[in-house]
Structure 1
Amino acid sequence: MHQQLANSTFRIVTGNSSGSGFSYINDRLVITNHHVIEPHLQNGAPIYAITEDNVPLPTQLIAYSDKTEYDFAILELKAPLPSGRNVLQPAASPVTSRGERIIFSGFPHAIPHLLVHEAVISSPYEQHAFYIDGSINGGNSGGPIISAATGEVLGIVTQRRFMGGDSLQNLSPQLEQLTRHCAAVATRGSVAINGINFGDFATMLAQGLGAISRVIEANANSGIGIGFHIRFVNAELSRLGLS
């Protein structure tokens, strides 16, 4: 079942965004998160579904939900699905329960290596999602969550939780403002005191803090992930006549 899941999973790449996705219902449809394909919505960047053995398949976006709501995107392959690939199917029942064993897959940290993990559902999370005790990282977004008992799709890996995430996000605008200020000052000359160029010093400080923030955010992992229920994708596919 682990290998079948791997054979269903893609790395989704568009612009500077990279996440995960999976074949679903039939050999033309691929599911991922809305937030993974945002560059396409912003500037029309092409979306590719890339297999584990690095075969890029062009796709087109046919439907999506708002990322603040159910955060899914439905893609259609423009090229035939390669042989040996697997297509996941929906769960017979949309109900998930605490303690249910699950398997999920994806490309964490945007590395070109497909990882498959086991976990359990830890708790419901509002009406649209559930907590899992899984090692969720950036790049896992859009990957499938299946029942370990049946192999059927229960949800989509969508978020991760770690302490201090809001603080790092709040720091980003300040670092960008400091970087812009330093660039503007550099065009007007430099200020040096006791041999220290404070324009260069401020620029290095901003770059250093930015690098530290990115490293912390990329590697922070509390082992708490959030999966969004697949039933909202199913409802949209039914509306489109594709289920």
Structure 2
Amino acid sequence: MTLDSRFRRRLPLATGLVLVLVALAAAFGHGRAATVPLWSDQPVAVTPATVTAPNWEGLAQALKPAVVNVSMKRTAQAPPEAADPFFQQFFGRAPQPRTQRGLGSGFVVNADGYVVTNNHVVDGATEIRVKLADGRELAGRVVGRDPRTDLALLKVEAHGLPTIPLGDSSALKVGEPVMAIGNPFGLEQTVTTGIVSATGRVIGEGPYDDFIQTDASINPGNSGGPLINARGQVIGINTAIVSRSGGSVGIGFAIPVNLAKPVVTQLASAGHVTRGWLGVGIQPLTADLAKSFRLTRTDGALVTSVSEGSPAAKAGLKEGDVIVEYDGRPVARAGDLPRTVAETPVGRAVPLEVVRDGKPVTLTATVGRLEETREAKAEPAPGEPALGVSARTLTPAVAQQLGLREQQGVLIVNVNDGSRAEAAGLKAGDVIAEVDHRAVSNVEDLQQALRRHATGAPVLLLVHREDAHVWIAVGA
């Protein structure tokens, strides 16, 4: 379960299994509307909190009965090569399948036995057991799973169960007190408290990153458990931690409940989640990029690529467009767009407000369906602006030798330490395709484009990097 990066690691919070932490995400309301709500949103009635502290004691007693322990078994198969006779000559007979066990948390959202937990808690399970607070242990059935949001909905055959109401995570304020209840390290019904440390956290787990950060103690086994506000409402689903040791260091992450609600609704009604799809690659705007695109602000999503035949292509979107408004809603951050598109019903025509060459353009796109093989994503923002590179003309032969998909352009061989290019985020292996919106196919083109460039303004580059297109503004 260790994903080390400079001695830090993000860990899925289920214990007992090596489980991959999936991309967390946005929630999307395409499910059939239920005649009776799946959950309640009414605050829990307890003695009013004082000015300095919520009534955690009262809330814990009221809500613990709705928090459950989720355990699972799955069969770990031997790798395919283990059955190869050649393999067996050296390593003996293939090992037999092994049973692995995992443990996490969950909470009851509906008295008829619907339980919310994390997908990674039950992923691959051949058997699921749900232990209630009253000691009963029941078989759990997966109603639906959504790996993109790391959410799962389970069902147990029971009625009249205590539930926890769901709140409004958009109303959260940094510094607001919160409480976590779960099963850390198998210690049942553990209650910890803290505050909301931050909202809208992006931790690199997928295109829908939008986490609540908390310092409430969260540990392996808390996965799927509720993060609760002072009104007794779930405002997040505990999912991941950053830790050097594997235990809590006061940095935990929860999926906002507003992202979870539509997902849970769709899982309950259809067993899966349907998402909208536009078909663009995007990245955030830096100040220099905004200046290069003749914008006065860094709001919006900069289009880096448009998929052929996609709704975006049919609508007329182009590389270099800046999407500033989607369906009447401003795009404040590039990362907001994939979540907003995903929430849109498939087939709906939505207006797009775009800035192209410094001028406003209005387009209309008919939202498609996001398939499993494609993903809308926001590329990382390039580094701070800054040119000092060694480069060569990229030919088809060189591209084939290096395994590059692009067949022409200018290949960056080396980036000088301390140069403007390094400061801007250019890397060896990048392929420059455009300079100031003009295509370059060789080193001579690049040199001419740089000579034409206006002194004192950032140089705007369109770069091919791995399988993505990235706009980079190199400071003057």
TM bin, normalised by shorter chain, reads 0.5 to 0.7
How much does 1:9 deviate? 0.4
Q: Is 1:29 aligned to residue 29 of structure 2?
A: no
How much does 1:23 deviate? 0.4
CA distance in 2, matches of 1:87, 1:232: 19
Q: Is 1:139 aligned to residue 214 of structure 2?
A: no
Structure number with higher helix proportion: 1
Q: 2:263 aligned to 218, 226, 236, which one? A: 236
Amino acid at match of 1:107: N
CA distance in 2, matches of 1:27, 1:78: 8
Q: 1:75 aligned to 130, 133, 154, which one? A: 154
2:131 is matched with which residue?
50
CA distance in 2, matches of 1:63, 1:94: 25
CA distance in 2, matches of 1:241, 1:14: 21
How much does 1:239 deviate? 3.2
Question: What are the ranges of 5 or more consecutive residues in structure 1 without an aligned counterpart?
Answer: 164-215
CA distance in 2, matches of 1:240, 1:71: 12
Structure with greater contact order relative to length (CA < 8 Å, sep ≥ 6): 1
Cα deviations across residues 189-222 of structure 1 (Å, max 9, x unaligned)?
xxxxxxxxxxxxxxxxxxxxxxxxxxx53xx321
Q: 1:91 aligned to 149, 163, 167, which one? A: 167
Q: Is 1:154 aligned to residue 235 of structure 2?
A: yes
CA distance in 2, matches of 1:46, 1:80: 21
Contact 2:143 2:268 (C-alpha < 8 Å) held by counterparts: no
Distance 1:79 1:225, change over 3 A: same
Distance 1:238 1:221, change over 3 A: closer
Cα deviations across residues 80-104 of structure 1 (Å, max 9, x unaligned)?
35xxx52011114643221111111
CA distance in 1, matches of 2:268, 2:66: 22
CA distance in 2, matches of 1:58, 1:3: 25
Contact 1:13 1:49 (C-alpha < 8 Å) held by counterparts: yes
Q: Is 1:107 aligned to residue 183 of structure 2?
A: yes
> For 1:97, what is the secondary structure of its paired residue?
coil
Distance 1:64 1:155, change over 3 A: same
Distance 1:121 1:235, change over 3 A: same
How much does 1:13 deviate? 0.5
Percent of residue pairs identical: 27
Distance 1:114 1:241, change over 3 A: closer
Amino acid at match of 1:13: S
How much does 1:53 deviate? 4.0
Q: Is 1:225 aligned to residue 225 of structure 2?
A: no
Q: Give the root-mean-square deviation of aligned CA atoms.
A: 1.9
Cα deviations across residues 98-135 of structure 1 (Å, max 9, x unaligned)?
11111110011023x21111111001213521110011
> For 2:61, what is the secondary structure of its paired residue?
helix
1:182 is matched with which residue?
none
How much does 1:224 deviate? 1.3
CA distance in 2, matches of 1:99, 1:27: 35
2:69 is matched with which residue?
11
How much does 1:65 deviate? 1.4
CA distance in 2, matches of 1:238, 1:221: 31
Contact 1:24 1:88 (C-alpha < 8 Å) held by counterparts: yes
CA distance in 2, matches of 1:20, 1:102: 17
Contact 1:25 1:89 (C-alpha < 8 Å) held by counterparts: no
> For 1:233, what is the secondary structure of its paired residue?
helix
2:192 is matched with which residue?
117
Larger Rg: 2
Q: How many residues align?
A: 177
CA distance in 2, matches of 1:18, 1:155: 19
Contact 1:4 1:86 (C-alpha < 8 Å) held by counterparts: no
> For 1:7, what is the secondary structure of its paired residue?
helix
> For 2:135, what is the secondary structure of its paired residue?
coil
Amino acid at match of 1:11: N
> For 1:74, what is the secondary structure of its paired residue?
strand
1:193 is matched with which residue?
none
> For 1:39, what is the secondary structure of its paired residue?
coil
Q: TM-score, normalised by structure 2?
A: 0.35
Distance 1:4 1:235, change over 3 A: same
Contact 2:72 2:129 (C-alpha < 8 Å) held by counterparts: yes
Contact 1:162 1:221 (C-alpha < 8 Å) held by counterparts: yes
Contact 2:182 2:189 (C-alpha < 8 Å) held by counterparts: yes
Write out aligned runs for 1:122-201 (5 A): 122-124=197-199, 125-126=201-202, 127-148=209-230, 150-163=231-244
